[in-house]
């Protein structure tokens, strides 16, 4: 068991959990749900990988990730799953609105496309998604991206692929 790396994940509909478990399998380290991770359990870990979802443009649970990192003194590596395809410009804007300049430099951060799962979504999230869909429907002068998003979020979908983990797994193998 590789005890120098621990993966902690926050996952509501399963995409982040699946990536976390695949990564743990590749690296031979532990992957714990956020509720099972505390500073005591992280003792001895040198790299804390925190996996979470994008939520309304934010990194869900970023404060928790930073707190765990401070408490454990481990290096923090972040991965975020989301529904957006992850083109460079959109991703750049996403990271810039969530991380400070210093964090962008210091915290390796990765985006892994997941999907959407209405079946496993809680009522609040479903409500928010309905609002987002209605906003897009009512928008005048829709861009091609708006139209693609509107079509994509009409149903559950799964674009996740274990291959998306490759750059993150490589970093962790090179500098565990
Ligand atoms: C209310 C809501 C807001 C979301 N906002 C974003 C977003 O801003 N960007 C994005 O790429 N995905 C967004 N998503 C999609 C989730 O990030 C995506 O489904 C993620 O993979 C879920 O991870 P989980 O299954 O581990 O909970 C949103 C989903 C919900 C329900």
For 65, the token pair is: 């990730």
Nearest CA to ligand 1 atom 28: 55
Q: Are 55 and 133 contained in the same domain?
A: no
- CA of 18, closest atom in ligand 1: 26
pLDDT of residue 116: 98
Mean pLDDT of the chain: 95
**Using one digit for the tens of pLDDT, what is the confidence trace for 14-29?**
999 999 999 999 999 9
What DSSP character marks residue 39? T
Taking only the tens place, the pLDDT of each residue in 32-69 is: 999 999 888 898 899 999 999 999 999 999 999 999 99
Contact between 112 and 160 under an 8 Å Cβ cutoff? The reply is yes
> Do residues 93 and 54 both lie within one domain?
yes
Give the chain's domain count: 2
Residues 20 and 65 placed together within one structural domain of the fold: yes
User: Which among 121, 6, 108, 101 is positioned nearest to 55, based on CA atoms?
Assistant: 121
The reply to whether 147 and 163 lie within a common domain is no
Q: Judge whether residue 148 has pLDDT over 70.
A: yes
pLDDT for 84: 92
Measure the CA–CA gap between 52 and 94, rounded to whole angstroms: 14
Whether residues 131 and 160 share a domain: the answer is no
- Residue of 14, 55, 97, 156 to test ligand 1 pocket, by largest number of atoms within 8 Å of CB: 55
Residue 48 has what pLDDT? 97
* pLDDT reported for residue 160: 97
Report helix, strand or coil for 124: helix
Beta strands in the chain (DSSP E): 5-9, 30-33, 47-55, 58-59, 75-82, 109-113, 115-116, 157-158
| Ligand 1 pocket residues where CB is under 6 Å | 11-17, 53-57, 81-84, 114-116, 121, 125, 128-129
Based on the domain organization, do 131 and 106 belong to the same domain?
no
Query: Domain of 139?
Result: 122-155
Spatial CB neighbours of 15, under 8 Å, sequence gap ≥ 6: 53, 81, 114, 115, 117, 158, 160
Closest CA to 82 of 169, 13, 136, 135: 13
More confident of the two residues 53 and 2: 53
| Token pair for 89 | 């410009």
Q: What pLDDT, in 10s, does the model give residues 106-145?
A: 999 999 999 999 999 999 999 999 999 999 999 999 999 8
Q: How confident is the model at residue 146 (pLDDT cuts 50, 70, 90)?
A: very high
pLDDT at 40: 87
Out of 16, 23, 54, give the residue to mutate to test ligand 1, the one with the largest number of ligand atoms within 8 Å of its CB: 54
pTM assigned to the model: 0.96
Quote the pLDDT of residue 95: 98
137/169 same-domain check = no
Asked if residue 161 and residue 146 are part of one domain, the reply reads no
User: Which ligand 1 atom sits closest to the C-alpha of 124?
Assistant: 1
Question: Do 144 and 131 share a structural domain?
Answer: yes
- Do 90 and 136 share a structural domain? no
CA of 44 to the centre of ligand 1 (A): 32
Which pLDDT belongs to residue 176? 67
* CATH for 95: 3.40.50.360
1 CA → ligand 1 middle, Å: 31
Cα of 53 from ligand 1 centre, angstroms: 6
């Amino acid at each position: 068991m590789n005890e120098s790396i621990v993966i902690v994940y926050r996952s509501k509909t399963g995409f982040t959990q699946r990536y976390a478990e695949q990564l743990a399998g590749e690296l031979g380290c532990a992957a714990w749900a956020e509720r099972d991770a505390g500073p005591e359990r992280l003792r001895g870990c040198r790299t804390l990988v925190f996996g979470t979802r994008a939520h309304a443009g934010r990194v869900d649970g970023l404060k928790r990730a930073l707190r765990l990192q401070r408490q454990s003194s481990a290096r923090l590596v972040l991965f975020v799953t989301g529904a957006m395809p992850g083109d460079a410009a959109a991703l750049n804007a996403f990271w810039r609105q969530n991380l400070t300049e210093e964090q962008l430099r210091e915290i390796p951060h990765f985006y892994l496309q997941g999907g959407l799962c209405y079946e496993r979504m809680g009522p609040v999230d479903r409500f928010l998604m309905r609002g987002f869909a209605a906003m897009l429907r009512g928008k005048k002068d829709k861009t091609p991206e708006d139209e693609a998003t509107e079509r994509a979020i009409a149903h559950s979908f799964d674009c996740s692929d274990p291959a998306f983990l490759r750059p993150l797994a490589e970093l962790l193998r090179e500098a565990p």
